[in-house]
Amino acid sequence: MCRSKRSTDALPPRSSRISASVKPFEFSSRRTSFVPYQQPSGNRFTSTSTTNSSSYNYKDDYKDMELRDTLPENVRVYDFSEIRYATSNFSAKLFSCSSSSKSWRCLIGGKDVIIFQRKLRQVISDDEELNKRLSLICKSSHASLIKLLGASVSGNYIYIVYEYIHGANLADCLRNPRNPNFTVLSSWLSRMKIVADLAHGFDYLHHSTGLNSSIVHKHIKTSSIIISEPGLNAKICHFGTAELRGEGGKMEQWKRCGSGTMKFGGARGYMSPEYLTTGRPTQKSDVFAFGVLVLEILSGKEALNYEPSGDGGGYVRVSLIEKAREAVGGGGGGVRRWVDKRVKDSYPVEVAEKMVRLGLDCVEDDPHERPGMDLVANQISKMYLESQIWANKIGFPIDFTVSLAPR
């Protein structure tokens, strides 16, 4: 029977529509077996404030099922109907929205998740390559990574499902939008802990033998880092999504969407010179972006900012990297004056100077001059230990229990 467009709106997943007397099922990690699946009766995060214009083709469900059958264990390709049902036909309240993506917090299979909608840069024409990348990313497991649960593709969009982590992004933690003079990261050790978490997370992505390959993040920035409460642990989000949506790299068999010039990803202020020139991210371009993160965490400033020119003639763009170089080369007290004042001068100056120099090593113009993330993680671990010893000597707490509630 043909379905009208209206008849397919906001329907529950296909398996739950078969019969009212039959319980819905979902695929388990083994494709030959099934496990009971209970779709939530409602969406506790639902509102009707937004709509989504992407069209639904019921054939996408069958395409997802065929794709899922070729994936190894622990990898999930969601039926598109599950995504629509979880988001109340995309009318649920948006969790976040930007020019390039939308996200919803909702329930899938009883799990609290975040679903990101991202537009594909290239039409998927090679299922084998998509399987490979999704398999690799979903197998990654590290304390500093937000778990990617799976994805679904429909038309020109990919829907990427992450576990929900309660917290706030690093940008808001460093620069409180409600109160610029307040930060939950008011202690030196809390910032060192975040830098250490991130260093080991990126080292895992670049060098883990368990992945049998390396992942280049490509989109490192403060808004892609989640700080969880109450322990202020740093979690890396959006790793691997560039490959899933077809941004350059090894996706040579994927076709371009539209007739315009192919664009590449990356965040303003975090892109290395060679990335800007070639559009091809590498592990060393990730190191560059990580170096910018380090400088942001130490200073509390944005990667790129605009300040009054001083002559009353408008504003001038200021690079955080250049300011850090000036602080290091400014002689005695340069770094102390540059570090975030909200830390209130309560930190080991020698460690702070070494951290700034390490951050600057990571943002060298020549990628061959930048250290690898394994070396960076090792050096940061030593400096974190030095900071703990310093905190113990002066009686500072080394454990954190902080609320990220609005202030």
- Which CATH number do you get for residue 142? 3.30.200.20
Name the residue among 49, 29, 25, 52 with its Cα closest to residue 39.
25
pLDDT of residue 98: 76
**Domain closes at, from 137, 163, 189:** 163
pLDDT of residue 314: 78
pLDDT of residue 241: 72
pLDDT of residue 78: 86
d(CA 248, CA 265): 9
Same domain, 359 and 216: yes
Q: What is the 3-state secondary structure (H, E, C) of 257-321?
A: CCCCCCCCCCCCCCCCHHHHHHCCCCHHHHHHHHHHHHHHHHHCCCCEEEEECCCCCCEEEEEHH
Name the residue among 164, 194, 182, 160 with its Cα closest to residue 78.
160
Name the residue among 192, 132, 119, 200 with its Cα closest to residue 396.
192
**Domain closes at, from 163, 186, 210:** 163
Global pTM reads 0.74
Range of the domain at 376: 167-394
Q: What angle do CA 202, 205, 207 make, to 5 degrees?
A: 100
Q: Are 373 and 287 in contact (CB under 8 A)?
A: yes
Same domain, 143 and 99: yes
Same domain, 241 and 340: yes
Q: Are 64 and 152 in contact (CB under 8 A)?
A: yes
Same domain, 233 and 200: yes
Same domain, 144 and 190: no
222 falls within a domain: yes
Q: In the chain, which residues have pLDDT < 70?
A: 1-75, 99, 122-133, 136, 209-214, 240, 242-243, 245-266, 310, 312, 396-407
Same domain, 159 and 41: yes
pLDDT of residue 315: 79
pLDDT of residue 327: 94
Pair of tokens at residue 230: 């109450």
Q: How many CA atoms lie within 13 A of 106 on its CB side?
A: 29
8 falls within a domain: no
2 falls within a domain: no
pLDDT of residue 105: 95
Q: Are 78 and 159 in contact (CB under 8 A)?
A: yes
11 falls within a domain: no
Same domain, 149 and 237: no
pLDDT of residue 2: 47
pLDDT of residue 240: 67
DSSP 178: S
The answer for residues whose C-beta is within 8 angstroms of residue 15's C-beta and 6 or more apart is 24, 25, 26, 37
CATH of the domain at 353: 1.10.510.10
237 falls within a domain: yes
Same domain, 157 and 180: no
Please write the tens of the pLDDT for every residue from 243-294.
Answer: 676 655 443 333 334 434 444 455 778 999 998 888 888 999 999 999 999 9
CB atoms within 10 A of CB 183: 20
d(CA 292, CA 249): 23
Q: Are 188 and 348 in contact (CB under 8 A)?
A: yes
CB atoms within 10 A of CB 363: 24
Same domain, 96 and 158: yes
**Domain closes at, from 143, 163, 183:** 163
Same domain, 136 and 211: no
pLDDT of residue 283: 92
404 falls within a domain: no
Q: Are 340 and 295 in contact (CB under 8 A)?
A: no
Same domain, 378 and 248: yes
pLDDT of residue 261: 42
197 falls within a domain: yes
Same domain, 221 and 152: no
Domain count, the chain: 2
13 falls within a domain: no
Pair of tokens at residue 23: 């319980």
